[in-house]
Every structure is written in C-alpha cells, then in structure tokens.
Amino acid sequence: MTRRIGLFGGSFDPVHVAHLALARAALAQLALDELRWVPAGQAWQKTRAMTPAVHREAMLRLAIADEPRWRLERCELQRSGPSYTVDTVRELQAAEPGASWFLVIGQDQYAGLHTWHRFDELLRLVTLAVALRPGAAAEADPRVRAAPLLRIELPPMAVSATAIRARVAAGEGIAGLVPPAVADYIYRHRLYRSAPGS
Ligand code: ATP
C-alpha cells in the first residue's frame, strides 16, 4: 500500500492548540500513515526574527510526544539560508520515492501560496489539504485554485502564535492556548518577554 505522508510546516513560535487540532484532523481525515512537523529554519516570508530553533524544536517535541504518527522533520533546521517548501518536498520525496504526499496548511497560507518560491512546481509534487482559519482571506489565486484540493474540517479557532507571544509579553496567561508542558517551557526559559513583534 502506498504510504500517505502529511507535511505540516510553520515557524511554530510557539506551537499552539490550533496547530495540534489541525494536525489531529489531518491524520484522521486524510488517513495519513504519518504527519511530519516541519519547523522552518529561517522563514523567508516573515520579517520578525524568530525564536532560536533550539527552543521552537524543544517545544514541538513536548507537544507532539504522545501521538506516534506525528514526527519531527528537522531538514529545514539543518539547511542554511531560506527554507523553501518546494526544496524540502523534493528532498523528502527523493529519500522516500513512491509515497503520497499531502501539504497541510491553514487557509491564510493557502491564500498566499502563489507568492511561494516555485509554487507551480510545488503544486505538482503534493496534494494540498487546507483548513479553515478565521480572518484569513477567503480566495486563493486562480493558478493555485486550479490545483486539486482537499479540505480539512476544523472548528474555527482564533488562536495565533502572534497573539500568544503578545499575551506573554503583557504578562497575561496562556493556559488553554498551548499544551501545559509548552507553557512551562516558555516560562522556564523566559521566552517572549519582550514587546510583541520583537
Ligand atoms: P504567527 O502568528 O507567528 O504568524 P501562526 O499561529 O500563524 O504564527 P505558524 O507556525 O505560522 O503559526 O503556522 C503553521 C501552520 O498552521 C500554517 O499553515 C497556518 O496556516 C496554520 N495555522 C496556525 N494557526 C491556525 C489556526 N488558528 N487555524 C487554522 N490554521 C492555523
């Protein structure tokens, strides 16, 4: 049987409950054999300096430890320079020929996918699986809409890493927004203490 592998990329700064809900829904609804979480080494579209990879990776490990079909994929952390999804997919597909690959993204990413590096090539390599995200632009570019698309049903969750960082910087609680072990990690390492956006 063809192995079905999902790829779920992001800065995960920090990983939060909407990521986990989306990843759980993807496993079930796409009948995946595994879902690989792909933390970005250097997100080329984000201007904000990301938290060092060692922390983002440690938080992800804490968050995904209990689900055996979730795996951490470190390839973008190991690459220097910008992380392009198309390069990641090519690298992983070369290592595992014959699998079916699904690119799991939220709707905000879908709406901007035509701005991704070599997006047309990327769309030929993977099947897109898109989850609704509150506040995201509804429509994608026609060139992206032409590609086959699977929908991931997910109750709308107005959670973002940006809002979580802002809450920590403002001294507000984040219980329920990240798993307890991730909240502990954030406090222990004094992450996100400075002003939002920094
Ligand atoms: P930031 O606020 O720092 O931009 P983020 O919360 O959007 O971060 P990312 O790590 O950039 O988190 O997102 C990784 C993936 O998860 C993206 O495909 C994004 O669309 C999706 N995602 C994040 N939050 C949600 C949400 N609340 N609902 C649906 N999808 C989401």
Q: What is the distance in A from the centroid of ligand 1 to the CA of 54? A: 19
Assess contact for 65 and 88: CB atoms under 8 A. Answer: no
Q: What is the distance in A from the centroid of ligand 1 to the CA of 100? A: 23
162 Cβ closer than 6 Å to some ligand 1 atom: yes
From the list 60, 51, 16, the residue with the least C-alpha distance to 178 is 16
Assess contact for 38 and 9: CB atoms under 8 A. Answer: yes
Residue nearest to atom 29 of ligand 1 (CA): 133
Q: What is the distance in A from the centroid of ligand 1 to the CA of 97? A: 29
Q: What domains can be seen in the chain, in order of their start residue?
A: 4-156 (3.40.50.620)
Task: Return the bridge partners of 106, or none.
Answer: 131
Q: Best substitution site from 20, 22, 73, 102 to test ligand 1's pocket, by max atoms within 8 Å of Cβ?
A: 22
160 Cβ closer than 6 Å to some ligand 1 atom: yes
User: For 171-187, how does the pLDDT look when each residue is reduced to its tens digit (9 = 90+)?
Assistant: 999 999 999 999 999 99
pLDDT score of 44: 60
Q: Best substitution site from 36, 59, 115, 160 to test ligand 1's pocket, by max atoms within 8 Å of Cβ?
A: 160
- Helix/strand/coil for 185: helix
Tell me the longest C-alpha to C-alpha distance in the chain: 50
Q: Which atom of ligand 1 is nearest to the CA of 105?
A: 18
User: For 65-104, how does the pLDDT look when each residue is reduced to its tens digit (9 = 90+)?
Assistant: 999 999 999 999 998 877 899 999 999 999 999 999 999 9
Q: What is the distance in A from the centroid of ligand 1 to the CA of 98? A: 29
| N-to-C CA span, the chain | 47
pLDDT score of 118: 96
Q: Considering the entire predicted model, what is its pTM?
A: 0.94
| Pair type for strands 100-106 and 4-10 | parallel
pLDDT score of 81: 78
7 Cβ closer than 6 Å to some ligand 1 atom: no
Q: pLDDT exceeding 90 applies to what percent of the chain? A: 84
| Chunked mean pLDDT (size 10), the chain, 198 residues | 96 97 98 97 71 96 97 92 90 96 95 96 97 78 93 94 97 97 98 73
pLDDT score of 134: 76
Measured CA distances, 106 to 4, 25, 55, 150 (Å): 19, 12, 23, 12
**HSE value, Cβ hemisphere, 13 Å, CA-based, for 123:** 19
Q: What is the distance in A from the centroid of ligand 1 to the CA of 1? A: 32
